Amino acid sequence: MSSEFDLIARYFGRPVPPGWLGAGDDCALLSVAAGCQLAVSTDTLLEGRHFLARTRPEDLGHKALAVNISDLTAMGARPLACLLNLALPGVDHDWLAGFSQGFHAFAQRCGCPLIGGDTTRSESGVMITVTVLGEVPSGAALRRDGARPGDDVWISGELGAADVALRLLIGQLPADDGLLARTREALERPVPPWELGPALRGLAHAAIDISDGLLQDLGHILAASDCGAHLEYAALPVHAEVAGLPAELAQDAVLGGGDVYQLCFTAPESRRDTIAQLGRDMDVRLTRVGRTVAGSGLCVTDARGAAIAVRRAGFDHFQDEGGQH
C-alpha cells in the first residue's frame, strides 16, 4: 500500500461533478459555464518559509487551499476546481491523512473539488503547490486597476491577529500562551470570504486579498489604478486581541502584517448602503476605512489627524527577510 498511485487514490482521489474527469488519467476534464472566463491562480507553501515544520497537517491542508481560494474571491471569481502538487520527503501516513482531511474539508465547504495534481519526492522539506480554477462572467472580474479617486476603501474581516500569532511562534514576541491561543486560528485556519468576491461584482471597482499586509496590498491597487488613498487608523477593523497590545506593536501588525486572506476593495460612495447590507446578509464584517484620492501615495492618520509613520510596510520575498511569505 505504498505505491505512488495507491497513495494518490487513497488520499487524493475524490468524486468530481457529473460529466467531469478527476484524478487518474493524463488530464482532468471540466466544463466552464457559457459566457464565463476561467480565473486561474497558484500558490506554493514551503516548509520553513511559509509554514513551520511543526504545523498540524490538518491546518496545513486547510491553509494550502484557503490561500488560493482567497485569490479567487479577490478576483470576484467563484471556486470551480483545484489541483494539488506535493513534494514530500517520504511517505508519512499520519501526515497524509491529516493533510488530506484538512484539504478536502475546506474544498467541500467552498465547493472546489480536487481534480488532479502531481506527487513527487522532495530532497529537502515539504513543498505544497495548489492551483485553483474559478469562474467569472466574462469582463466582470474585480481587477486591481479599477479604482477611481473618491472611492470608499473597504476591508472584510479583521486585521492583525495572524501576524501576532506568527511572531509569537517564531519568538519575535515574548512567549504568551494565552495570546497565542487566541490568535493562532487566524494564522493557521484562515477562512477567506469566498462568497463575498462574487457578490461584489458590479459593486466594487477594484479588489485584492490581504496576503502581504494592508499597506502593501492596498498599495498594489493604488499603483495599478493610478490613485492615492487616505485611511483613518481608528476606523480599521482591528482584532480584539491586537487592539489590546502596545500601540506600535498593534500598528505594525494591523498595517504591515500579512496572512490575513480577507479583501480590501474600493467602491463608489453610491454603493455604500448596498455593500453594508451585503455584509449583514452574508454575516461578513465589512468596514469602510477611508477614501481613494487623486494623485499618489497612501496616508494613514491617527485620531488627531497626524500621519502615522509605518515601520514595516509588508512582506517582499526578495527585500525583507523578516517575514514568512
Applying CB under 5 A, the residues found at the interface with Mg ion are 118
Given the complex with ligand ADP, which of 131 and 301 has the nearer CB atom?
A: 131
Q: Which does 8 bind (CB under 5 to 8 A by kind): ligand ADP, Mg ion, none?
A: ligand ADP
Instruction: Report the nearest approach of Mg ion to the CB of residue 84 (Å).
Output: 12
CA atoms of 204 and 228, how far apart (whole Å) = 17
320 binds, among Mg ion, ligand ADP, none (CB under 5 to 8 A by kind): none
Q: What angle do CA 23, 24, 29 make, to 5 degrees?
A: 55
**Which of Mg ion, ligand ADP, none is residue 24 near (CB under 5 to 8 Å by kind)?**
ligand ADP
Q: Which is nearer to Mg ion, 118 or 176 (CB)?
A: 118
114 binds, among Mg ion, ligand ADP, none (CB under 5 to 8 A by kind): ligand ADP
Nearer to Mg ion, 118 or 226 (CB): 118
Residue ranges in contact with ligand ADP by CB under 6 A: 8, 12, 23-26, 84, 86, 114, 116-119
Shortest CB 11 distance to ligand ADP, Å: 8
Q: Which residues contact 304 (CB under 8 A, 6 or more apart)?
A: none
Cα–Cα distance measured from residue 72 to residue 58, given in angstroms and rounded to the nearest whole number = 22
Phi, psi dihedrals of residue 92, rounded to the nearest 5°: -115, 105
* Cα(132)–Cα(284) distance, integer angstroms: 23
147, 151, 153, 156 alpha-carbon torsion, rounded to 10°? -80
Q: Choosing among Mg ion, ligand ADP, none, which partner's interface includes residue 254 (Cβ < 5 to 8 Å by kind)?
A: none
114 versus 313: smaller Cβ distance to ligand ADP = 114
Q: Least separation, in Å, of the C-beta of 141 and Mg ion?
A: 30
Do the beta carbons of residue 73 and residue 112 sit within 8 Å? no
Nearer to Mg ion, 5 or 299 (CB): 5
Q: Which does 316 bind (CB under 5 to 8 A by kind): Mg ion, ligand ADP, none?
A: none
Report how far apart, in Å, the C-alpha atoms of 257 and of each of 26, 187, 249 are: 41, 11, 10
What residue type is assigned to position 319 of the chain?
Q
Residue 86 CB, nearest distance to Mg ion (Å)? 11
Taking the least distance from each CB to Mg ion, the nearer of 55 and 85 is 85
For residue 84, the partner it binds in Mg ion, ligand ADP, none, with Cβ less than 5 to 8 A by kind, is ligand ADP
Please tell me the distance from the alpha carbon of residue 47 to that of residue 225, in angstroms, as a whole number: 35
3-state class (DSSP) for residue 68: helix
- Min dist CB 115 to ligand ADP, Å, is 7
Residues 75, 136 contacting (CB under 8 angstroms): yes
HSE of 99 in the Cβ direction (CA atoms, 13 Å)?
Answer: 23
Residue with cell 498511485: 5
- By beta-carbon proximity to ligand ADP, the closer residue of 23 and 264 is 23
For residue 109, the minimal CB distance to ligand ADP (Å) is: 18
Q: Across the chain, where does the E strand assignment appear?
A: 36-46, 78-88, 114-121, 127-137, 152-156, 206-209, 228-232, 263-267, 286-293, 298-301
Nearest distance in Å: CB 20, Mg ion: 19
Q: Which residue is nearest to Mg ion (CB)?
A: 118
Q: Are 89 and 127 in contact (CB under 8 A)?
A: no
Closest to Mg ion by CB, 101 or 119: 119
Residue 12 site contact among ligand ADP, Mg ion, none (CB < 5 to 8 Å, cut-off depends on kind) = ligand ADP
Q: Which residue is nearest to ligand ADP (CB)?
A: 116
